[in-house]
Amino acid sequence: MSASHEALTLARAWAAADPDEATRAELEATIAAAEADDDAATIELADAFRGRLQFGTAGLRGRLGPGPNRMNSVVVQQASAGLARFLVEREAHPSVVIGWDGRRGSAQFAREAAEVFAGAGVRAILLPRLLPTPVTAFAVRHLGVSAGVMVTASHNPPQDNGYKVYLGGADEGSQIVPPVDGEIAARIEEAAQTPVADYPRGSVEVAGEGVVDAYVAATAAIGQPDQGLAGATGPRVVYTPMHGVGLETVRAVLAAAGFPAVIPVPEQAEPDGAFPTVAFPNPEEPGALDLAMALATAEGAELILANDPDADRLAVAVPDDAAPAGWRMLTGNEVGLLLGWDAARAAGGRGVLAASIVSSPGLGAIAAAHGLEFVQTLTGFKWVSRVPGLVYGYEEALGYLVNPGTVRDKDGISALVRILTLASELQERGSSLTEELLALAGEFGAFESGQVSVRVTDLARIPATMAALRQTPPTELAGAAVLAADDLSLPEHGEIGDILRFTLDDGSRVMVRPSGTEPKVKVYIDATSADGPPAARIRRARERVAAIAEAVRPLLQ
């Protein structure tokens, strides 16, 4: 296989102008290998130079490496120059706060972005050190700036990084959404016509610890125990930040809220962009909590809490003698409904509960019982956080917003505080999160959920799978007839997105969509039961989820 003339030409030009010695050397080595007809190098060049890494509603996210279709110094500076142009056109004296996590390249990218912003006439404020994503989201509102940038790829594989954008002002620190993402992307294309070496640079401010202290205080305030439970010690907790940046902030918040210290998983306690103990740094992935479960058993812990590497998501595991390791990780929907019921009881009949369309319909039942409005949004937390009147919102992928007055994005630390508060109150009453799930099923019926995911190496498989299901939808799944097969991308369904929804005659629901952040096709399965006592309801609903999952798998091959 010979490298194309166009790819080699683009690669040589990039190498000549790349200001980063490391990526320049990497690219020069790849060019030399491609010139020697190395197939792997040829494929790499073709992919790295086949276009520009797309800037969308998640900002940028992609693999580290040289080239316009990768995350690197040049792409980050171009994105910053384009975002700066957008902000300068939008207001007279724009400002931006920049945060970063512990991934490879994050600190460098944050500094370079800040210098480009400052050179373009945008006041640039760097956070004082690597910190969780929710602190950056908080800082946008707390500092009253025009925008925020967080350099992170959240729970993506180690070779990835990203550039996440928030807007201040009327957007209240929410993530960008259309049409703004397109407007910023156009400015980035314009900025990319100028070599990054010619971008002016400016002086950068560094925020004091006050912004972190303010986040800690605001987050701790939602975790104060009920007056009647003051002094309760709460459950013994093992915690893992998954090689990310959560531990220091979690410790500070829990201390301020009066909770005992958590027991960290030592192998995963410090930031490490290589994520050496996990295949994927995502608490949802099989095996990701194995070290935490082993430590929790050894320490006699009663609860496991985990954040993903940038601490905007939360995972919860509870003791379960029937589980292989003696622990069961709660699903995102189980945690979402527990926190939703908690929020609904505190709302006093005012406000809105919201969840993404692929999350459990159980939140709607909770909202109705408490006289609250329920809103289903498009997938992605950028939509959940923007719901007017929101008092609580979640998405099944472990994202929860329990304090929308403080942060307008999913926040794994505030969710941790709230779930720990709930667990402590339940323990004081002789109950537990497991018992609370039974109570929830008794009150509203059991709402159980599951997922089937297929990770692909050939990205063409994803649209091919979706096209096949559109052309020939199933008529029956696990003994239940498919009453409706809805393509939610069509105008009659509100153009919600690339989602297929199958409604079954037993009340179950199946939704299929491409992942927005990973090379996966994801299937979301929801089943419900209101027959018998709570434990029987849960069992029946889980059995239906499992049966439907088995029926769905062949459709994805």
Peptide bond connecting 19 to the previous residue in cis, omega within 30 degrees of 0: no
Known catalytic residue at 154: yes
Rounded CA gap, 121 and 99, in Å?
19
Q: Sign (positive/negative) of CA torsion 378, 379, 380, 381?
A: positive
Q: What Cα–Cα distance (Å) separates residue 273 from each residue in 113, 244, 430?
A: 20, 8, 41
Question: 1-26 burial by CB neighbour count: b if 16+ within 10 A, else e?
Answer: eebeeebbebbeebbeebebeebbeb
* Among 339, 537, 324, residue whose Cα is nearest residue 444: 537
Question: 28-59 burial by CB neighbour count: b if 16+ within 10 A, else e?
Answer: bebbebbeeebeebbebbbebbeebbebbbbb
Q: Among 73, 95, 106, 154, which one carries the catalytic annotation?
A: 154
Rounded CA gap, 450 and 25, in Å?
45
Contacts of 21 (CB under 8 A, 6+ apart): none
* CA dihedral of residues 80, 82, 83, 88 (deg, nearest 10): 120
**Under DSSP, is residue 250 helix (H, G, I), strand (E, B) or coil?**
helix
Rounded CA gap, 494 and 379, in Å?
13
Show the tokens assigned to 189: 């294309």
CB half-sphere exposure, 61, CA atoms < 13 A: 18
Show the tokens assigned to 280: 């994927």
Which residue type, as a one-letter code, is found at position 150?
A: M
Rounded CA gap, 140 and 149, in Å?
9
Rounded CA gap, 343 and 200, in Å?
48
Pair 260, 234: CB distance under 8 Å = yes
**Can you give 200-231 as a three-state secondary structure string?**
CCCCCEECCCHHHHHHHHHHHHHHCCCHHHCC
Which residue type, as a one-letter code, is found at position 98?
A: I
Q: Which long-range contacts (CB under 8 A, 24 or more apart) does 5-13 make?
A: 6/49, 7/34, 7/42, 7/45, 7/46, 7/49, 7/50, 8/34, 8/35, 8/45, 10/49, 11/45, 11/48, 11/49, 11/66, 11/67
Rounded to the nearest 5 degrees, what angle is found at the Cα of 201, between the Cα atoms of 199 and 207? 140
Catalytic residues: 154
